[in-house]
Amino acid sequence: MVGRSRRAAAEAAPPSRDRRAGDASRRPRSRHSPGRRFSPSSWNLGTVAAQVFLLQVIVVLVLVAAAAGALVLQGRYDGEDTARVRSLATAEAFAHAPGTLRALQSPDPTAMLQPATVQARAGSGVDFLSVLDKAGVRVSDTEPRLIGTHAQGVERAAAGETFTERFHGEPSDSVRAVVPVLDGSRRVVGMVSAGIQVENLGHMLDQQVPMVLGSAALALVLATAGTALVTRRLRRQTHGLGPAEMTRMYEHHDAVLHAVREGVLILDGDGRLLLANDEARRLLNLPEDADQRHVTQLGLGAELTGLLASGEAVSDAVHPVGDRLLAVNSRHTAPYGGAPGLVASFRDTTELRALTGRAEVARGRLTLLYEAGVRIGTTLDVRRTAQELAEVAVPGLADVVTVELLEAVLHGEEPTGALNRMRRTALRGTGAGQPLQPVGDLIQFVVADTPMVAALSQGKAVLVPDLHAAQDWRAQDPEGARQVLDSGVHSLITVPLRARGVVLGMVNFWRGAGSPRFEDEDVSVAEELGARAAVAIDNARRYTREHAMAVTLQRSLLPRDLPEQDALEVAWRYLPAQSGVGGDWFDVIPLPGFRVALVVGDVVGHGLHAAVTMGRLRTAVLNFSSLDLPPEELLGHLDEMVMRLDTQTESADGEGAQVTGATCLYAIYDPVGGRCTLSRAGHGVPAVVDPGGRVTFPELPLSPPLGVGGHPFESGELDLPEGSRLVLFTDGLVEDRRRDIDEGLRLLAAAVGHPGLTPEDTCRSLMRAMLPEHPSDDVAVLVARTRLLDPSRVAVWEVPFDAMAVSRVRTEVSERLREWGLEDASFAMELILSELLTNAIRYGAPPVRVRMLLGRTLVCEVSDGSNTSPRLRRAATTDEGGRGLFLVSQFAERWGTRYVARGKVIWAEQSLGPLPEPDPMLLLDEMAW
């Protein structure tokens, strides 16, 4: 009853204006009362929230409809594409089956193809499968009633073309593929057609449509519910502000706007000032009535006024305003919900700019020093290092840089001599046509009070901030100083280059027009650059000295000229690695009997130690070759020597490197028979080029490298026709990082495999075809072309083991010497032959043989089967014998003994020039004997 009376009273009493006003004033507060729900009137379409909700629902409906349509179209397209693929695969498989062609060529193709057609259709998933003859008449079909009927639209298949299509016609619309059946001559003997009916494609699509529509409906329900929830939440969050809250918000925003230490200007779309806070008025010095004025009337300066008038959005653009530098940021207000206009903020960066400038200068100096550490001293060349110092300092520190070094430093020697005489080594400037003396000139400091002399005497940098005001530096060369000043150079820092307490030279930094004068801070940078460059120059100087010593040593150890001999025509090449010093070597050693030894060796490593080791090995080979040892025995002695050297190295507290790993090839060529005996210790085989140009790499016994020990050395023999070339080389010729050894050998064979090439031509061809300008390993090449001793200049006698045969052989030898026109040498040679042959018969063993060789000299060889070696001694006056070899040594130019496989050979060599007169006493002794 109470509620009813209140409602009636409310209905009866007309609402007064004051009450409506009171209700209206309380309305915003009541919207925040707890538990309040939206009334149906809140969804009035006149409200923005309702309109937004309706728009979102429409958008969702459109998107769902579009998605459903797209899915339907995509499903139809995918179904048709799948039908084309399946039909084509089925038709091609059936057409290419072996039985199809035989059936079409048989008298009754229908009987043979109909069962297979039905079976293939059931297993392939197509709706129909037909086999047609070349006229298009069905001879087999999954529908038996269609057999004998004519198929439509198969003319392209009858012409030999395979195709797929969407067919419209009898017996039904379908997606089909038609494939021709070809015989062995590629002629069409029939066709196979397979397909899927269009109505079945639609049936498949109809099964998907309900699912698509159901998903669309569910998406629509979810989107509508989500939109409703978001709209309700937005209404709650945005409709709760009353007048007091709005006032308080405005006061807070106004306080922040004017209290912040950053100027803010708001301009409208026409460029008129709408708002300026207190900081903006102070920074820009705006007048009191600046509001509503155009930006061009505010007196902000042309640069800042143009920026604000253009409406351009910028970030941290620095512009001068009065005596301040302001960082300006401007943004458009339109994207943020306001009216078209511009908001600009200003920060005073005057002090920050100064600090930033000093930090930038410091950073630039640190960067310069870092670049100096990276770029100075990249090579071990004194001149290049000085040039790098100049390149780093220009233009980072100076406009022009000159570097002068002592003459001794440029040659890699210890810095000695007067410090007032230096050679200009580097000059670098930013412009062309420097007035300073060019590179290569001798710089002399004859006046004691110049900045250069002062820097050298004090050992530290000297700064001349203003060359125009300084008079001392002009005293040495007034005219040159005037030209320097006229070119714009006005400031100088001169720094001595010192390393290990020794002056190497000096560097001068010059600044020209457009650059500020040097300050005290620049001196420390210049000194640091000079110190780093001095260390790099000193390192380069030391390397130059050591490198020159190593190169000199190596050149002194290698053969300078090849010895004269008649057995071989020889040419050689030696190319050191990039380091300039290596361990490869070669040698040509004449041996008795006109034989020649060829040697090629390789010491592992590079540098001074490799060169020294190479020299020791070459000397050892020369000494061992004087014993006239076979190649395998010589390498055995060389191997023992290397092992002794390594043992001494191990006992020397690890100083030096071991020799183990060195390789050597030793060959002896005999021009009498053209036979070459070779032995190798870890070395590659030589290349043999016959007179016709055919290249072979003979199979020769291979022994381990020198110093390994424990393995015997073996030798091999080659018979070389006259005109053959023997190419000996080290592994640097054929091995490289860019290719393997097999490819290198193929290139070598191609380079030397030409008939008629001389040894010198062969060397040039090898260098041109196989080596870069700076090889990574040492290369030694020795090319020898063989010659044979004329058979008419060789005489051989088999001597019976009887002393009575000596006179007969001596007589025959004398006759042969007369035939050779050597009557003058007959007496001495008969005496030598008598002594050697008598010793062989008395003290040797059979068989005994005498051989006379005529070439550059006259050689007498007496061989026997004994291994006992004769010994030269001086017989006493009371001795009855022992004078034979002494007589031989007196009449022969050289004599010696060499061992062969069976016995020994005693040889004596006599010059063909004027012979010395024999001593009569010796003749009397010989006759008495």
Q: Over 90: is that where the pLDDT of 570 sits? A: yes
Is residue 152 within 8 A of residue 170, CB to CB? The reply is yes
3-state SS string for 602-669: EEEEECHHHHHHHHHHHHHHHHHHCCCCCHHHHHHHHHHHHHHHHHHHHCCCCCCCCCCCCEEEEEEE
Tally Cβ neighbours within 10 Å of residue 784. 26
More confident position, 441 or 157: 441
Identify which has the larger pLDDT, 357 or 509: 509
Tokens of 636: 């055995």
Q: Find how far residue 358's CA is from the centre of its chain.
A: 41
Q: In sequence order, which residues have a C-beta less than 8 Å from that of residue 839 and are 6 or more positions away? A: 862, 870, 884, 885, 906
pLDDT of residue 511: 93
With a cut of 90, say whether residue 764 has pLDDT above it. yes
User: At residue 923, does pLDDT exceed 80?
Assistant: no
pLDDT band of residue 34 (cuts 50, 70, 90) is very low
Can you tell me the mean pLDDT for 883-887?
Answer: 66
Cα–Cα distance for residue pair 216/71, rounded to 1 Å: 11
Encoding tokens for residue 661? 């790993």
What confidence tens digit (pLDDT) does each residue in 62-86 have? 877 777 777 777 777 777 788 888 8
Residue 52 CB neighbours (<10 A): 14
Average pLDDT over residues 743-752: 92
Confidence check: pLDDT of 32 > 60: no
Residue found by looking up tokens 């025959």 in the block: 812
In the sheet with 695-696, reading across from the earlier edge strand, the strands are 568-575, 779-786, 725-729, 687-689, 695-696
Q: Per this entry, what is the length of the chain?
A: 929
- Give the confidence band of 784 by pLDDT, cuts at 50, 70, 90: very high
pLDDT of amino acid 535? 93
The strand pairing partners of 493, in sequence order, are: 463, 509
pLDDT of 919 reads 56
Secondary structure (DSSP) of 814-875: HHHHHHTT-GGGHHHHHHHHHHHHHHHHHHS-S-EEEEEEESSSEEEEEEES--PPP---PP
Q: Are 218 and 64 in contact (CB under 8 A)?
A: no
Q: Tell me the C-alpha distance between 707 and 687, whole Å.
A: 26
Per-residue pLDDT for 862 more than 70?
yes
**pLDDT-based confidence at residue 916 (cuts at 50, 70, 90):** low
The residue written with tokens 């007498």 in the block is 860
**Of 153, 154, 152, nearest in space to 179 by CA:** 154
* pLDDT (average), residues 476-505: 89
pLDDT of residue 838: 86
Residue range 43-61: average pLDDT? Answer: 64
- The 10s digit of each residue's pLDDT in 144-167 is 888 888 888 888 888 888 888 888
The residue type found at 107 is P
Above 80 in pLDDT, residue 877?
A: no
The secondary element (H helix, E strand) that includes residue 88 is: helix 48-95
Q: What is the pLDDT of residues 674-692, one digit of tens each?
A: 999 999 999 999 999 999 9
**Which of the four pLDDT bands, split at 50, 70 and 90, describes residue 231?**
low
Q: 505 pairs with which residues across the strands? A: 405, 497
pLDDT at site 758: 94
pLDDT value at position 596?
95
Structure token pair of residue 425: 């080594």
Q: Which pLDDT belongs to residue 509?
A: 95
381: left (phi over 0), alpha (psi -120 to 50) or beta: beta
Which residue is it, tokens 């000494």? 623
What pLDDT does residue 51 have?
63
Least confident of 113-122, 217-226, 833-842, 909-918: 909-918
- C-alpha triplet 372, 374, 377: angle, nearest 5°: 80
pLDDT tens digits, one per residue of 82-94:
888 888 888 888 8
The predicted structure's pLDDT at residue 710: 76
pLDDT value at residue 782: 95
Residue 272 buriedness (CB in 10 A; 0-12 / 13-18 / 19+): middle
CB-based contact 700:716 (threshold 8 Å): yes
- Of 879, 886, 894, 872, which Cα lies nearest the Cα of 922? 886
C-alpha span between 753 and 747 (Å, rounded): 10
Task: Write down the mean pLDDT value for the chain.
Answer: 80
Mean pLDDT confidence for 363-383: 87
With CA atoms as reference, report the closest residue to 324 among 303, 296, 293, 309: 303
Percent of the chain with pLDDT over 90: 26
Which residues does 769 contact at the CB level (< 8 Å), separation at least 6? 747, 750, 751
* Per-residue model confidence (pLDDT) at position 666: 97
Q: Is 694 exposed, middle or buried (0-12, 13-18, 19+ CB in 10 A)?
A: exposed
- How far apart (Å, rounded) are the C-alpha atoms in residues 317 and 588? 81
Please give the residue that has the higher pLDDT: either 447 or 859: 859
Specify the higher pLDDT residue, 728 or 169: 728
Q: Peptide bond preceding 171: is omega within 30 degrees of 0, i.e. cis? A: yes
Residue 527 has pLDDT above 50, yes or no: yes
Has residue 871 got a pLDDT over 70?
A: no
Quote the distance between the C-alpha of residue 396 and its chain's center. 30
Residue 51: CA count within 13 A, CB half-sphere: 3
Q: Does 265 score more than 80 pLDDT?
A: yes
pLDDT confidence of residue 582 = 73
Q: How far apart are CA 90 and CA 87, in angstroms?
A: 5
Closest CA to 686 of 708, 669, 710, 704: 669
pLDDT in tens, 597-643: 999 999 887 777 777 888 889 999 999 998 889 999 999 999 998 88
Q: Which residue has the higher pLDDT, 782 or 181?
A: 782
The Cα 544–Cα 415 span in angstroms is 13
Is it the case that residue 723 has pLDDT exceeding 90?
A: yes
Q: With cut-offs at 50, 70 and 90, classify the pLDDT of residue 5.
A: very low
- List beta partners, residue 878: none
Per-residue DSSP letter, 685: P
Quick one: pLDDT at residue 697?
95
Residues 447-462, mean pLDDT to the nearest whole number: 85
Please provide residue 105's backbone torsions phi and psi, each rounded to the nearest 5 degrees.
-90, 0
**Confidence band of 789 (pLDDT split at 50, 70, 90):** very high
Query: Which residues, listed in sequence order, are joined to residue 443 by a DSSP beta bridge?
Result: 422
Rounded Cα distance, 424 and 434, in Å: 14
Cβ atoms 426, 396 nearer than 8 A? no
Mean pLDDT of 343-369: 75
Residue 538 pLDDT more than 80?
yes
14 against 600, higher pLDDT: 600
3-state secondary structure of 319: strand
Whether the Cβ atoms of residue 168 and residue 176 lie closer than 8 Å to each other: no
Residue 910 pLDDT exceeds 90: no
